Amino acid sequence: MSAQNERYERATFAGGCFWCMVKPFDKQPGIVKVESGYTGGHVANPTYEQVCSDTTGHIEAVQITFDPEVFSYEKLVDLYWQQIDPTDAGGQFADRGHSYTTAIFVHSEEQRRIAEQSKRRLGESGVFRKPIVTPILDAKPFYPAEDYHQGYYKTNPVRYQAYYVGSGRADFLKRHWKDSSREEQLRSRLTPIQFEVTQNNGTEPPFRNPFWDHKEEGVYVDIVSGEPLFSSLDKFDSGCGWPSFTKPLEGEQVTEHVDVSHNMIRTEVRSKDADSHLGHVFEDGPQPTGLRYCINSAALRFVPKDKLEEEGLGRFRSLFDK
């Protein structure tokens, strides 16, 4: 075994439906593997149906293989709390019963010390009014779940997102884990519509926004962070009443997410760094991409081409010299 593999550790967390417990950890640096499975019970190699019957003693969990030199166990525990309702002893959100309860399964006395200290801090923080009931238990054999459960957020993104929202988890986490200081700071410098669009996934009125028919040459940046998003060279009149672009600027300037709100299935567009809601992308645009990035003006700030240098965006100046 290599020295690198020898330093890897395991963390095991139960937080209700394991579909929703993979993505938050999977995206962090230093995470080698996140596996869905069953643990805590008395039946070897249980099936999903057996575990759901609440007759095996098992609960759904994720086991994380991680590099503690890159992402510490303390950070993992802190992130874990932000995925669950630790005051609910009967299940999680829409899922009820023992198999959907929460628990931290520790693999060493050091993990136990960190987990207990973190649980105590959470209880004293005032984030929750009710007592923290998530138990801290010794790790037991972990049995991987069936293949179709693994990485569910990637293999079934539409169903995953519908479940994540429909179960009540998304709304609960948003309400309880707001960064109040950041929210206050943003409210102080954004207009009400800018805040509503970027922070609450709002939509401004069509044809009554600054950039829907704006034709000046330059770059559109995120109103929150200033990160460059779109070029006027890729803007076109789609007739929809919002700024429309055939593509973002080169590089990973925006991220795309499945959006199942309002009884529709759409692709949401967000800024990469600030995670601002920008709008949606549709497959009804002109060539060469065939895409229409339909973006709220309230999420954007415009930088004219002759101001790019002073705004630190000089690398885009050559686009307008062709």
pLDDT tens per residue across span 276-292 = 999 999 999 999 999 99
Last residue of a domain, one of 149, 176, 203: 176
**What are the CA-CA distances from residue 122 to residues 34, 79, 85, 117, 145 (Å)?**
24, 12, 12, 9, 30
237 and 286 part of one domain: yes
* 88-115 per-position pLDDT tens digit: 999 999 999 999 999 999 999 999 999 9
- Other Cβ atoms less than 10 A from the Cβ of 200: the count is 9
Distance CA 268, CA 257 (A): 5
127 and 241 part of one domain: no
Q: Is residue 88 part of a domain?
A: yes
160 and 30 part of one domain: yes
Distance CA 322, CA 316 (A): 11
**Contact at 8 Å (CB) between 254 and 229?**
yes
317 vs 177 pLDDT, higher one: 317
3-state DSSP call for residue 25? helix
Last residue of a domain, one of 176, 198, 219: 176
Cα–chain center distance at 87: 22
Distance CA 87, CA 77 (A): 16
Structure confidence at residue 4 (pLDDT): 57
What are the beta bridge partners of residue 292?
Answer: 282
* 49-72 per-position pLDDT tens digit: 999 999 999 999 999 999 999 999
169 and 30 part of one domain: yes
200 and 159 part of one domain: no
| Mean of all residue pLDDT scores within the chain | 93
28 and 99 part of one domain: yes
Residues annotated as catalytic (active site), given as ranges: 17, 294
**Contact at 8 Å (CB) between 230 and 293?**
yes
What are the two backbone dihedrals, phi and then psi, of residue 47, each rounded to the nearest 5 degrees? -95, 165
Name residues whose C-beta falls within 8 Å of residue 174's C-beta, 6 or more positions apart in sequence: none
Q: Is there a cis peptide before residue 157, judged by omega within 30 degrees of 0?
A: no
Q: Give me the number of domains the chain comprises.
A: 2
CATH of residue 257's domain is: 2.170.150.20
115 and 261 part of one domain: no
CATH of residue 155's domain is: 3.30.1060.10
Q: Is residue 191 part of a domain?
A: yes
Nearest to 134 by CA among 172, 92, 101: 101
125 and 11 part of one domain: yes
Give the domain range for residue 249.
187-320
* 110-148 per-position pLDDT tens digit: 999 999 999 999 999 888 989 999 999 999 999 999 999
163 and 246 part of one domain: no
**Contact at 8 Å (CB) between 318 and 294?**
no
14 and 157 part of one domain: yes
Q: For the CA atoms of the chain, what is the radius of gyration? A: 23
What are the two backbone dihedrals, phi and then psi, of residue 59, each rounded to the nearest 5 degrees? -130, 155
196 and 314 part of one domain: yes
DSSP 76-136: HHHHHHTTS-TT-SSEETTEESGGG-EEEEESSHHHHHHHHHHHHHHHHHTS-SSPP---E
164 and 210 part of one domain: no
Q: Is residue 181 part of a domain?
A: no
Nearest to 65 by CA among 18, 149, 8: 8
Q: Is residue 223 part of a domain?
A: yes
